A and B are shown apart, each in its own frame.
Chain A
């Protein structure tokens, strides 16, 4: 839980300044320091970015009355129309969450390879 929250906070701050791929070094370092296993590193990173991106998108979409997300949904070929926004928000998390999951696992493995225990 600590790891999960840590990732959310650091990734949030990091992405205010840097491009989206800044989450890769962030989760690697966080998992390198705090993860206990490949699985927990992967899941913490995946879920943390999933939640962070989802909350952020949904927040932005609500204050926009979902105007843009529904249009982007149509662009992507979705047919839910007035609920496109929710599906778009869920889809939007995937590139970040997937990349973060593997990066987190890599961070944990890095520690395993280079630590003395």
Chain B
């Protein structure tokens, strides 16, 4: 009898232990089910009480005084501290409380440390980030920041605040993504904050086209390259109005590069060399044509309030948790409100009692590739000025979950990291496609910098002079800083560290052996493009060229296309008493300058064809009646968009896309010019098949209609919103944690630049005055917790194109309108 019980016992215990083990382990992508699903410590603990309003009072070691954080109806914190140290400590604390997982994950992404969490599938991504020198750049930045007592205080206090929050946590409190991926928050370091600022540079200023341009130059030669990839666009509406004179100091440094009569075009294999005269020295910048943002400010004499009004909407790849974290920071030295990067101190875009500011990206050429000739396969020495120099080696240890670490050696020349030396580049890794082999990367984001100080100074700036002083500290990613103050000044500055280059230097790949190809100096910071109180009564930017061709320095050869900027400027030209409504309408403007430029011509060509079928004729009628607005319910917008994209492909794909080598298409600006003014161009022909412009236009129209029919059925289903399918995905693409499909109009090239999931990550309008009145919205919410009512509570307001009034408090009284709770942080008494 006992024997059978014993056998049963062993079997049952084995089964119990087996289940316990399985349910406590992460298997593949499946979280440990017992740990994850149990309601005591699992994900159910992240289901926040929707009516929960709790005041907290906590004692925190490291504080110098008490801090009070008021939470408003949107879940936005308003921090009141007695000194700056405590202010940043509390900013770190409260940001971590809302966004800890996002901060952790983005830091790992930037630093090439995702494999530690998700395993081997992230290995190539991790290698890429490290080989592009992300950590190297962050370290340089941190070192520089720690040399500045002010930045040191800020970044260290901020880290301490984050760690004070992490210390509070037990496993049940971990953000849900930690539970899904089954790992723990780790201690925060100031380097993490630097990494997040580098991530902004990676997002906005790491694009690179040199390899593609080099291949095009090698294939088609100088004349074609110059013709199709011109160094200034046909259509432009620069940030600094055309005709502005440059009042520069004559002693300013000149480009340091000696005018060598010939430069070297380097072929990919490093063997074949070809000489080009200097004038053809086309050189870098790549930019996604459509990455962008808008900002503008109008002078008091043109606004309904008599004071300046400022607007900004930075466009980014939208994610949940939201990219930005709204916060008010109040101390005896400042009172500022705006959005911050979760994981980095200060307010990045915002306003205080006196000023408001905002940013858009400057697509200047701040990244170059230098061909490196190594002495041998050991990569210990490289040729520079025809002498052998030693490389530095940085051994990257990439830890991989559940496996042994990978050690990856990156060779650094004095220019920067050789991202991929021969045999180091993975075959199947798309992010690496535009990286040339055996080239050193020179990138402004690797240089020591102290951007933190810019934001600190802006946060407490009182007037135009303070604004100008703050900008001096800023290197990368270069931004158009728009500014307005309550004294009535408005200004915009394309600001950052711009290398002083010879014209078009770095449009192609450069020669690492040749010292004359180096960046040696920078454009003097006070001579960065800037304007104050222009005659036209407003300033604006939308990633277009900062200047016309009279600017004495070289900034790059290609910037964002001019359409959004031009629309903004023509609207601002006609607005008389600008107010909140007119600015809100402009931020949501879906009018297409591209359609304005080419639609009539295209439609005219179509009308010459008598053989259109039923759907095609209907489509043509819709296009003729179209108001050129990418509204959410417009079928014509879908027609035009699909047609233009198809047309663009049919013109260029046969000549500028290849499986064998990387190439790129000419810009939209160039394509539009070709369509309008060069109907006989040979580029319309397809290989040996001769084709005219009109034939290509017609064929692409029919093709577009066919595509739409195949994908969406009947013409009535082709509404723009249904085709574009705007949505905001989760940062780690976890199903169910993103937004639903949103009903939003706009396109990449309209002012409301909303594509599938890239668009306005923050919309802000500030009416300056005796007391500023400000409005803003993010496509998401304050909380990073998908189980919080504040995770995506602003998204409907954002979808409708509306803004919330921002609560700008003057005192820390709990009993005031709009405040729902408070967190008191008290210092530890000795």
Contact = CB atoms under 8 A, between A and B. Distances in A.
Interface of A: 15-16, 19-21, 24, 38, 53, 56-57, 60-61, 63-65, 67-77, 91-96, 98-99, 102-103, 105-106, 109-110, 112-113
A67 B13 contact: no
13 contacts: A15-B38, A56-B44, A60-B45, A63-B50, A64-B49, A68-B176, A68-B786, A94-B33, A95-B23, A96-B38, A109-B12, A113-B5, A113-B9
Given A20-B40, A77-B735, A67 B35 contact: no
A64 B47 contact: yes
Nearest to A69: B47
A99 B37 contact: no
A102 B19 contact: yes
B42 interface: yes
Contacts of A92: 37-39, 42, 44
B684 interface: no
Given A53-B39, A75-B734, A67 B47 contact: yes
A46 B762 CA distance: 50
Given A20-B40, A65-B789, A68-B47, 14 more contacts: A16-B40, A24-B20, A53-B39, A57-B39, A64-B47, A67-B786, A67-B789, A68-B48, A71-B736, A75-B734, A95-B37, A98-B19, A99-B34, A112-B9
Contacts of A95: 19, 23, 33-34, 37-38
A31 to B, nearest CB: 11
Given A20-B34, A63-B50, A75 B12 contact: no
A103 B20 CA distance: 10
A95 B22 CA distance: 9
A61 B47 contact: yes
Interface string B709-744: 000000000000000000000000011110000000
B601 interface: no
A70 B24 CA distance: 23
B582 to A, nearest CB: 36
A99 B16 CA distance: 6
Contacts of A63: 47, 49-52
A85 to B, nearest CB: 9
A71 B20 contact: no
B2 interface: yes
A109 B8 CA distance: 7
B584 to A, nearest CB: 29
B787 interface: yes
A6 B125 CA distance: 52
A64 B334 CA distance: 37
Contact of A105 (B12, B34, B39): B12
Contacts of A74: 735-736
Contacts of B6: 113
Contacts of B35: 19-20
Contacts of A69: 44, 47
The list of the 7 closest CB pairs from A to B, nearest first, reads A74-B736, A68-B787, A64-B47, A56-B39, A109-B9, A15-B40, A92-B37
A60 B686 CA distance: 64
Most chain A beta carbons < 10 A, residue from B2, B24, B787: B787
A64 B40 CA distance: 15
A67 B788 CA distance: 7
Nearest to A14: B40
Contacts of B415: none
User: Interface on chain A toward B: helix, strand, loop, or mixed SS?
Assistant: helix
Interface of B: 2, 5-6, 8-9, 12-13, 15-16, 19-20, 23-24, 33-35, 37-52, 171, 176, 180, 734-737, 786-789, 791
Nearest to A76: B736
A71 B44 CA distance: 12
Contacts of A71: 736-737, 786-787
Nearest to A59: B39
B5 A112 contact: yes
Contacts of A94: 33, 37
Contact of B5 (A24, A75, A109): A109
B15 A68 contact: no
Contacts of B50: 63-65, 67
Contacts of A21: 20, 23-24, 34
A70 B727 CA distance: 18
A110 to B, nearest CB: 6
B47 A91 contact: no
Contacts of B736: 70-76
Contacts of B47: 60-61, 63-64, 67-69
B300 to A, nearest CB: 45
B43 A72 contact: yes
A70 B33 CA distance: 17
Nearest to A63: B49
B9 to A, nearest CB: 4
Contacts of A60: 39, 44-45, 47
Given A68-B176, A71-B787, A106-B13, A53 B2 contact: no
A99 B9 contact: no
Contacts of A113: 2, 5-6, 9
Contacts of B9: 106, 109-110, 112-113
A102 B15 CA distance: 7
A12 to B, nearest CB: 8
